[in-house]
Amino acid sequence: MKRDFDRLRDAPFDLLVVGGGIYGAWTALDATLRGLKVALVERDDWGAGTSSASSKLIHGGLRYLRGFQLGLVRKSLAERRRLVTLAPHQVRPLRFLYPMGSGFTGRRYVASGLTVYDLLAGRGQPVPGHHRISRVAAAAAYPYLDTGHLTGAFTYGDCATDDARLTCEVVDAAWRAGAVAVNRARVEELLVTGDRVVGARVKDGESDVDLEVEARLTVLTAGPWAESLVPEAARGQVRARYTKGVHLVMGPLPTDDALLLVARSDGRVFFVIPWYGRTLVGTTDTDYRGDPDRVAVEPADIDYLLTELRARCPGLGWDESSILGSFAGLRTLQSSDGVSPSAVSREWRLERPLDGLLMPVGGKLTAARADAAKIVRRGLRLLGRPDGVSPTRQRPLPWAPPAPFDRWLAEQTAASTGLGLDAETAHWAPHRFGSRLADLHALVRDDPKLARRLTPAAPFCRAEVVLAARDEMARGLEDALRRRMPATLLAKIDAATAADAAALMGGELGWGRERQAAEAARFLGSE
């Protein structure tokens, strides 16, 4: 996909979608496939907000059963099944271990929760149902757990993804279907005529040009930033609460499975998740009332996660010096008084603060496709158009490889190794590129030096930087090295690597030497 701010001049649009996280992406795709004329604008980069700061799980949300949010869990489990079909390269099954014992959670309670989880999932799921394992077997297989307190464990299945990359692919799908999709395009204010929103004033982040973009309907999918964009008079109607979630990035786990653990201090659930050969530990859940642009990992967040992790997995021996990276994001939840952040419902709601304006509140990466279909259906009704079944229900994402997936994966991994990618990079590349892997292979065939890793500590090759700039609308190093590939989360990027990446991107985007140096310096300064 190519960035072209001037295409926004082709107004009026049927739908202007503000915010290019996962909700904006699916909304733009669904609406475009249904024949609407759609513009999607993102002030920063695709997935730059919450959609690159999640736990990266495509899951039903086992812990929501505690709050009896059965509808949400059922919907999410159905979406889990659907997303594996629509994007098997991006969404992969992951086995979880749920340990039990004194100080962990009781066996009967967990067993009934997992049974309900399996029942709600129904047939045809990409992961097996739950399974009980004995104390001895669990202690032998996961010796780093607090085995002194262990009485047994369960395994169950869910799925994992790369949230920012998934978002990028959905935006690409919308763009290919005909949507105007522009990053670095910030909505400065919504345009209001009478009591009706009629579009937005959008600033081009690259030229500073301002443009009034007219639209019959505007959808505010700006996550935690959305409330501040609602015109003052209607802002009181928005009922949202924001909580911060932090993850730590640690080295590899000695075992393949993810862990669902219960924090000793407050009984909250947190996860230990293998991801790109490293491990994510998270998350926290604390109320946040500040500026969403300033959300940051604080020492107290690190302390909480490390303390709980060390209590549950003392054998890992992880301490502060083991932290490779960290990130923080904000959940937008429905407002609720008198309950702790983790007890707030994760159900999703669609608000209409003014005529001409729709705004989702809450949601999940997992459920975004289904929720976006509802946004578009409501939009079609408001526009007086016929609705019907969402086209995104059945349509594979554009990078989805040919079936059968497992055979394709094995062939493509072998082909990648054959072209000089190291084994770990070759393992991940098919998941990241799907059918576009052919483009990566073509680049590497022409210039074998592009098969080398960009940085030794992360499984991404130099050709991926070229494709990020050429075909994935990466406009700066942060776009390429944080969201098209999460290199900055997994590795410390040094000056030589930044300079190399700037040269690779510069070749695509026409940056001269001075601009390359400036981009590298800016990136290193923001790290």
- Give the footprint of ligand FAD on this chain (CB under 6 A): 18-24, 41-44, 48-51, 53-57, 59, 186-187, 221-223, 225, 229, 245, 283, 329-331, 363-366
What b/e readout covers 12-25, taking b as 16+ CB neighbours within 10 angstroms?
ebbbbbbbbbbbbb
| Closer residue to ligand FAD in complex, CB, 50/326 | 50
| Closer residue to ligand FAD in complex, CB, 19/353 | 19
List the alpha helices (DSSP H) in 364-494. 368-382, 405-418, 423-433, 437-446, 462-471, 477-478, 487-490
- Integer Cα distance of 458 and 477 in angstroms: 16
Return phi, psi of residue 344, to 5°: -70, 140
86 CB burial (10 A radius; 0-12, 13-18, 19+): buried
Q: Which two tokens stand for residue 148?
A: 């002194």
Minimum CB separation of residue 43 from ligand FAD in Å reads 4
DSSP classification of residue 420: T
| Closer residue to ligand FAD in complex, CB, 59/92 | 59
Classify 396 in phi/psi space as left (phi over 0), alpha (psi -120 to 50) or beta: beta
Minimum CB separation of residue 296 from ligand FAD in Å reads 13
* 359: nearest Cα among 219, 235, 483, 465: 219
Preceding amide of 448 cis, omega within 30: no
- Integer Cα distance of 297 and 44 in angstroms: 20
Return phi, psi of residue 58, to 5°: -105, 100
| Closer residue to ligand FAD in complex, CB, 20/356 | 20
| Closer residue to ligand FAD in complex, CB, 199/363 | 363
Minimum CB separation of residue 372 from ligand FAD in Å reads 9
Beta bridge partners of 128: none
Minimum CB separation of residue 221 from ligand FAD in Å reads 5
| Closer residue to ligand FAD in complex, CB, 99/363 | 363
| Closer residue to ligand FAD in complex, CB, 56/268 | 56
| Closer residue to ligand FAD in complex, CB, 90/283 | 283
DSSP classification of residue 308: H
Minimum CB separation of residue 173 from ligand FAD in Å reads 15
| Closer residue to ligand FAD in complex, CB, 51/425 | 51
Asked whether the beta carbons of 210 and 203 are under 8 A apart, the reply is: yes
Minimum CB separation of residue 187 from ligand FAD in Å reads 4
Q: How many CB atoms lie within 10 A of CB 289?
A: 7
Kind and range of the H or E run holding 74: helix 70-86
Minimum CB separation of residue 480 from ligand FAD in Å reads 16
Minimum CB separation of residue 167 from ligand FAD in Å reads 7
- β pairing state of 150-160 and 57-58: antiparallel
- Integer Cα distance of 135 and 521 in angstroms: 53
Q: Residue 152's Cα: distance from chain center in Å?
A: 32
| Closer residue to ligand FAD in complex, CB, 244/462 | 244
Residues ≥6 apart with Cβ < 8 Å to 468: 474, 479, 480, 484, 485, 505
Asked whether the beta carbons of 21 and 224 are under 8 A apart, the reply is: no
Minimum CB separation of residue 413 from ligand FAD in Å reads 26
DSSP classification of residue 480: I
| Closer residue to ligand FAD in complex, CB, 248/444 | 248
- β pairing state of 278-282 and 240-250: antiparallel
Minimum CB separation of residue 18 from ligand FAD in Å reads 5
Minimum CB separation of residue 258 from ligand FAD in Å reads 11
Minimum CB separation of residue 247 from ligand FAD in Å reads 7
| Closer residue to ligand FAD in complex, CB, 353/363 | 363
Q: Which two tokens stand for residue 273?
A: 């998740």
Quick one: how many helices (H) and strands (E) in the chain? 17, 18
